[in-house]
Chain A
Amino acid sequence: MAVLSFLDRERSIAAPGYSRWLVPPAALAIHLCIGQAYAFSVFKTPLTQLIGIKAPAPEDWKMSSLAWIFSIALGMLGLSAAMFGKWLEKVGPRRAMAAATACFSGGFFIAALGVKLHVLALVYLGYGFLGGIGLGLGYISPVSTLIKWFPDRPGMATGMAIMGFGGGAMIGAPLSTLLMRLFQSPTSMGVIETFLSMGAIYGAFMIFGVVTVRIPSPGWKPEGYVPSAQTKKLVTSANVDVENAWKTPQFWQLWIVLCVNVTAGIGILEHAAPMIRDMFPNKITTDSATGFVGLLSLFNLVGRFFWSSLSDLLGRKGTYLIYLLLGCVLYASLPTVGRSGSVVLFVASTCLILSMYGGGFATIPAYLRDLFGTMHVSAIHGRLLTAWSTAAVLGPVLVNYIRDFELKRGVPKAEAYSVTLYIMAGLLFVGLVSNALVSPVDPKHHHQET
């Protein structure tokens, strides 16, 4: 079929003269959409009042059941990225992006049907399961393409795309609220129409990415680009097959680095509003706590582009050294900063931490490319994202359980986060050691052309 053959890898090879600057918008078109997942919480309250409308009715879905939607989506993100990465490398980014579009957009339509019929399992299946596959495929699909187009600035290129994921939440939350307000009526929360509209809008936007993306022809180099004659110890010119990559110590060292960096960041991001209110009860209102969460999201976004671009100059290992060392010091000092009563210092420290959390996400593809080459970098990245799924569980659990334990022990609210913050600092120290151990991959793992 002509439409399907358009998705073939061969059809997406760029003709000579194609501008590489068209590829980041293609990647952004995907990431800006799938980043919506992090704004799913805006649907939680409306979904608990579908029948009662003004307040939850006894037959309405419970908040605890709805939490599973996001958990399934995030779990599927990690699983699909790990499972389909190798397929992606084989079929190319266009087909993978098309599959991501079908899953992510289709997920909204199935979820809308679930809301219409009031069958929660359909929402799990649509937004959670299918949408989650779209997230995983969409997240990794532009990575190796961008790295191949920007061999001179791989950190900046992947940073741009992954910054889009952060931006997606910033678009998704107000867009969902706007649409629900538009479709709301005395008899409906407007969720069905919002899901349908978002499925269509995001689908169209992602198709722009599918149509625009190109892969460079073999041997293509940017004009005037001469690979450095002086080889860097940690940047390989060889390639490692994904099946071998995950058997190397370097893969697991980076897995630990990503996992602890994300655990620490999520721990703060998820509990930012109650944390700042508890630590500064007389200075922070509910509104300003919400503002604090917004500010952290901005630093998370900017950090993705800033730090990953900087890593092209500092090297990946050096950049992670900054994230982990500075992060360790900042986390360990936050309880003292809290006790000092300085809101400005607390906000500045947490903003810096969140910028490095975002930076950690955005710099990892370039780190993988340095160590394992470009051949299977998307697939290897996909498998490494299981560290994210692990951290998504670990981070909030650590903060929740330890805070509750401390409160039960009679520790004042303002002090209840101290132990967690020290544990986070400890985790980052583990990451620091893991990063320090990273060395070039043993040549026995290098891919041999047959």
Chain B
Amino acid sequence: MNEEPVKVPVLRLVLAWIFVGIPLIWGVTQTVLKAAALFRK
């Protein structure tokens, strides 16, 4: 166990969220495009 206090840089946090966020947003966008067919006449 590491007892030394650490400070997580904000950049690391942002990058971690971007890493998982990009594929999620891509997947959601694909689904939204598919769902849009329901509202087309």
Binding site for B on A (CB under 8 A): 10-11, 13, 15-19, 21-22, 25-26, 28-29, 32, 164, 167-174, 205, 208, 212, 217, 287-288, 290-295, 297-298, 301, 347
Contacts and interface: CB of A to CB of B under 8 A. Distances in A.
Contact of A288 (B13, B32, B40): B40
Contacts of B27: 167-172, 174
Given A32-B24, A164-B24, A212-B16, A294 B34 contact: yes
B interface SS class: helix
B2 A171 contact: no
B14 to A, nearest CB: 10
Contacts of B5: 15-17
Contacts of A347: 38
Contact of A29 (B8, B19, B38): B19
B23 to A, nearest CB: 5
Contacts of A297: 31, 35
B28 A298 contact: yes
A294 B35 contact: yes
Contact of B4 (A15, A26, A168, A298): A15
Contact of B7 (A13, A17, A25, A170): A17
Interface residues of B, number: 29
Contacts of A291: 34-40
B20 to A, nearest CB: 4
B19 A15 contact: no
A288 B38 contact: yes
Interface of B: 1-8, 12-13, 16-17, 19-20, 23-24, 26-28, 30-32, 34-40
B30 to A, nearest CB: 4
Contacts of A290: 34, 37
A293 B36 CA distance: 11
22 contacts: A15-B2, A17-B6, A19-B13, A22-B8, A22-B12, A22-B13, A28-B20, A167-B28, A170-B30, A170-B31, A171-B24, A171-B26, A171-B27, A174-B27, A212-B16, A288-B40, A291-B34, A291-B40, A292-B35, A297-B35, A298-B35, A301-B28
A121 to B, nearest CB: 31
Contacts of A292: 35, 38
A379 B1 CA distance: 24
A113 to B, nearest CB: 26
Contacts of A19: 8, 13
A383 B7 CA distance: 37
The 4 lowest CB-CB distance pairs between A and B, nearest first, are A291-B38, A291-B37, A170-B27, A171-B27
Given A17-B8, A18-B6, A217-B1, A287 B23 contact: no
A17 B40 CA distance: 51
B23 A208 contact: no
Given A17-B6, A291-B37, A32 B13 contact: no
A203 to B, nearest CB: 14
A294 B32 contact: yes
Of B2, B5, B7, B13, the most chain A CB neighbours within 10 A belong to: B2
Contacts of A301: 28
Contacts of A167: 24, 27-28
Given A15-B2, A19-B8, 18 more contacts: A15-B1, A15-B4, A16-B3, A16-B6, A18-B6, A25-B20, A28-B24, A167-B24, A168-B27, A169-B27, A170-B30, A171-B23, A173-B30, A174-B30, A290-B37, A291-B37, A294-B31, A295-B38
A297 B30 CA distance: 11
B4 to A, nearest CB: 6
A259 to B, nearest CB: 27
Contact of A22 (B4, B16, B23): B16
Given A28-B20, A32-B20, A18 B8 contact: yes
A89 B40 CA distance: 50
Contacts of B7: 17
B16 A15 contact: no
Of A173, A288, A290, the most chain B CB neighbours within 10 A belong to: A288
Nearest to B9: A19
B40 to A, nearest CB: 7
Nearest to A11: B1
